[in-house]
Structure 1
Amino acid sequence: MSRAQTYKEGEAAASQQAESNTGSKVRSERVALLLLSALLAAAAIVIYRLSFAHFQTNKNLQMLKDENEAMRKNLTEKLSELSSCTSEQLIRPKPAEAKTTGLCPTCEPGWDQHGGSCYYFSSDKLTWDQSRSDCKRRGADLVQINSEEEQRFLDNKVGRKMTYFLDWFWIGLTDSKEEGRWLWVDDSPLNTSLSFWDKNQPDNWTGENPAGEHCASMGVQGGATDLKSCYDRSCNVPQRRICEKAAKTG
């Protein structure tokens, strides 16, 4: 074999070896790339799952907070309703009576007890005069608000019962006898320090009735933060109502 031929064969062998090495290197790089892609995909899946778990945890936490707040409000309301049975508010019989135990105020089914009164919140709607007649038929009258604490109780109750913005409740206040002179159903004048008119109320608007607005109603969905939830309205508009009567003792 000539020297030239031997050189060519060696060169060919070297070339094949180089190609083999190059192929091995490419395959190694492909394997490494596939492994890296797999690791990135796995990492993306882990990150997604962790993110979803974090989102779900925050969502569950918010639900628990909302439930806790609702339970707190309900407990506060129940404690308020039961406050009449504290030692300071027990209704005690006169010394002439042969009794020494205190008696708690109670209300019949369908009425809400607060302090020494029972309150009926209607679901049907009547005019102001019809509402008052219905309250009297039940042994009561349209509600008369005598304190900020009572207004807070009523505002909270009404705010939770309302289904839309104008779903108001009649109360026992009117200026039908004399414009601007607001009287309760027992003819006592409205105490200006205990008036809970909303902003720009009363305004005696004539849009619903040319005769104006001479009866008072109340209601803010969810309750009014400042207790200002009273409005004047035409007495002829059917609305829900709040009746009030003294609680029974027993």
Structure 2
Amino acid sequence: MPNDQRGRPMKKNEQGMVHLRDSRYVRQTGGWSRGLFCMVVTSVVAMTGCAQTSWNWRKTFGMESMVELPVDSVAGRVARINLIGADKSQSLVDPATIERLNKQLDQDTPLAVKSAIVGALGRIKSVRALDGLESALRDSDARLRSEACVALARHSDPRAVLLLAQAVRVDTSTDVRLAATRALGQFDSPASVQTLTSVLDDPDPAVQYVAMQSLEASTGEKLGLDVRKWKELSQDPSVLAGRNPDARR
């Protein structure tokens, strides 16, 4: 292999003689053209800015494209359902719409559509929405049941606490029981405290841990991870009710 005048090895190829270990030497052709191309692209982006690129992205994938989705497709159905109750001013939905949503949870509906319905029922401020969420808690898919627990936590009706308490007791999925236990921390009532106290005896340490977190959220007490202290404090759940102004009754 030939060397240069300093004794450094050189390699000969189609592009010419180049050093193997000296980045100061580049191929006689090819390297400069690629560098020039990069400089041109960078200059164009700098001059045009990112706003136009961002606008094109929104036009292709954003709200403008939703109107082009087939009405009967899964994506189209999900897009329409996601708009229900999305605005807080629209949280009051007519009973007929709620009934249609509830019925779709009992049918052979795609899971993505069911998930969107559960989210909508969590946003809708109506006791009728609880019927659909109760149906979702009986679904064969554990993920949907977990989502139903999250949606129930957004309702202040006492029935929501009873449904969550039932899920904690009877559901066979640990993930669902954890979701229900976490959701009970959003309520400030004797029923929620009683259920969370009973969960302290659960053989699963993860469930115990979440139960203590939820008791803290529900009661406002700071007892850490001491199961014994939580049990002592919850001897009379009615005393604990109302201590946390951020929790729901």
How does the TM-score come out when normalised to structure 2? Answer: 0.30
How does the TM-score come out when normalised to structure 1? Answer: 0.30
Which protein is richer in helix relative to its size?
2
Which structure's CA Rg is the greater one?
Answer: 1
Higher relative contact order by CA 8 Å / sep ≥ 6: 1 or 2? 1
